[in-house]
Amino acid sequence: MNTPAINALRSLIADDGGTLLDEWLLSLKAAGGAANGRVNENELRTQCRDFLAALQGAFESDAPTDTHTAAYEPVTAILDEMSRSRALQGFSPSETATFVFSLKHPLFARLRRSSKDVEALGDGAWALTEVMDSLGLHVMQVYQTSREQVIKRQQEEISELSTPVVKLWDGIVALPLIGTLDSSRTQIVMENLLQSIVDQEAEIAIIDITGVPTVDTLVAQHLLKTVAAARLMGADCIISGIRPQIAQTMVHLGVELNMVSKASLSDALALALKRTGRMVVPRPIASKS
């Protein structure tokens, strides 16, 4: 990188930060980067001022066009923070990227004014573009990573929430299934159920499918697998909560569940209690004296 271009870069921010900041804020608002007032005006101003100060510092370094040097660390730190918080607040990618790209307009205007000849303008423009694009890419990368983290966390939460195994009685566990059963969920469900059969020394496991919206051949096969695995461990399974429409659909599809099934969870619990040698009887009402 030749010296004139570097000097041009340095002079862009160095002369006066105040007007550049105002121009940038205007350009940012025009491009929608202020996100319709979702970001506090003062906050945005502070953020922009910090960024310009950090950028100026980076331009003073030996290699101002390489954004991977240590001199750019303060700049990327501000961008990381900004990008991450906006990703979590639900900003769109373009709204986030505009933060950096809207600075291009005022900077290029200054560059044009300060360049004496075409060559200087060309060199300066190239150096500036290189820096701004690299920073813009960095913003998008951080944004994407943050979004992926959010999605991953939500996925984990959903899979944890949706497969609880509850203990109903000594030796009786229940697995209330909610939502569609696909292969990966079946795997988790099966592992959870089998592990809790071991932990609770359960003889009977009730699988309640009230919350399963559809039962097709694949779901039925997954259920059968779970039941077969539980049986191999020495526990009996009872299916409960098959809704009338689903029962009809299953019969029409020719899906046969060769296992004990009960209409409701309470029926299943009654059967489970009976099998484990217990019964529920109404308490005799104490006679009033």
Partner 1 sequence: MDRIPILKLGSALLVTIQVDMHDRLAKALEDDITAKIMTTGAKGVLIDISGLDIVDSFMGRMLDTIASVGRMLDATTVVVGMRPPVAITLVELGLTLVGVKTALNVERGMALIGISVDDFEEVDRHDGG
Applying CB under 8 A, the residues found at the interface with partner 1 are 190-191, 194-195, 197-198, 201-203, 225, 228-235
Closest CA relative to residue 174, chosen from 237, 246, 263: 237
Q: Tell the smallest beta-carbon distance from residue 167 to partner 1 (Å).
A: 15
Closest CA relative to residue 104, chosen from 121, 139, 128: 128
Closest CA relative to residue 58, chosen from 14, 117, 19, 111: 14
Q: Which is nearer to partner 1, 232 or 279 (CB)?
A: 232
And the tokens for 232?
A: 């191999």
Q: Tell the smallest beta-carbon distance from residue 155 to partner 1 (Å).
A: 22
Q: Which is nearer to partner 1, 150 or 228 (CB)?
A: 228
Q: Tell the smallest beta-carbon distance from residue 244 to partner 1 (Å).
A: 29
SS (H, E, C) 74-114: HHHHHHHHHHHHHHHHCCCHHHHHHHHHCCHHHHHHHHHHH
Q: Which is nearer to partner 1, 94 or 195 (CB)?
A: 195
Q: Which is nearer to partner 1, 202 or 250 (CB)?
A: 202
**How many other C-beta atoms can be found within 10 angstroms of the C-beta atom of residue 145?**
14
Q: Tell the smallest beta-carbon distance from residue 230 to partner 1 (Å).
A: 7
Q: Tell the smallest beta-carbon distance from residue 279 to partner 1 (Å).
A: 19
Please report, in angstroms and rounded to a whole number, the separation of the first and last CA atoms in the chain.
Answer: 104
Q: Tell the smallest beta-carbon distance from residue 282 to partner 1 (Å).
A: 30
Backbone angles phi, psi at 270, to 5 degrees: -60, -45
Q: Which is nearer to partner 1, 30 or 198 (CB)?
A: 198
Q: Tell the smallest beta-carbon distance from residue 247 to partner 1 (Å).
A: 24
Are the C-beta atoms of residues 123 and 5 closer than 8 Å to each other? yes
Q: Which is nearer to partner 1, 230 or 268 (CB)?
A: 230
CA 55 – CA 281 distance, rounded (Å): 78
Q: Tell the smallest beta-carbon distance from residue 239 to partner 1 (Å).
A: 16
Q: Which is nearer to partner 1, 146 or 196 (CB)?
A: 196
Q: By CB neighbour count within 10 A (0-12 exposed, 13-18 middle, 19+ buried), where does 203 fall?
A: middle
**Amino acid occupying residue 240:** S
How far from 82 is each of 88, 125, 140, 149, CA to CA, in Å? 10, 26, 11, 16
Q: Which is nearer to partner 1, 150 or 218 (CB)?
A: 218
